[in-house]
Amino acid sequence: MSLANKNTFFASGSGAATYHIGQGKVYGFIASTTNAAAQTFVLYDSALTTGSVLLSFTVPADDYAVVFFPEDKPVVFNEGLTIDPTNCDVLLFLST
């Protein structure tokens, strides 16, 4: 997968962050936690954390994950993209 022409967005901590209002695609992410327990972050198709859940991913305790989706099968959002990182550091690769 080529990361050319992809944007990045970094979210960290326990508060939700809205990246974009409108349509776009998520092509992958790198997520980590130094927490002693596994942590789950959530992506929402919304400008708020009350929208449709696009993705929920659990990062193992004190570990990291690198996930890329096939270029022809990204995670698509229509209303906007909000992330609740829940004690994770998450770097998203996306286009808007």
Say if 22 falls within a structural domain.
no
* Contact (Cβ atoms closer than 8 angstroms) between residue 60 and residue 36: no
Separation CA 66–CA 60 (nearest Å): 12
Say if 23 falls within a structural domain.
no
Q: Which of 27, 20, 31, 80 is nearest to 57 (CA)?
A: 31
How does residue 75 score in pLDDT terms, banded at 50, 70 and 90? very high
- Residue-wise pLDDT for 23-61, tens only, equals 999 999 999 999 999 999 999 999 888 889 999 999 999
> Within 13 A of 80's CA, how many CA atoms are on the CB side?
13
Separation CA 17–CA 84 (nearest Å): 7
How does residue 1 score in pLDDT terms, banded at 50, 70 and 90? low
Distances in Å between the Cα of 35 and the Cα atoms of 6, 21, 45, 58, 94 are: 29, 30, 27, 12, 26
Say if 42 falls within a structural domain.
yes
- Model pTM score: 0.91
Say if 21 falls within a structural domain.
no
The tokens of 80 are what? 């906007």
Say if 95 falls within a structural domain.
yes
User: How many domains does the chain contain in total?
Assistant: 1
Q: Which of 79, 83, 84, 71 is nearest to 96 (CA)?
A: 79
Domain that holds residue 36: 29-70+78-96
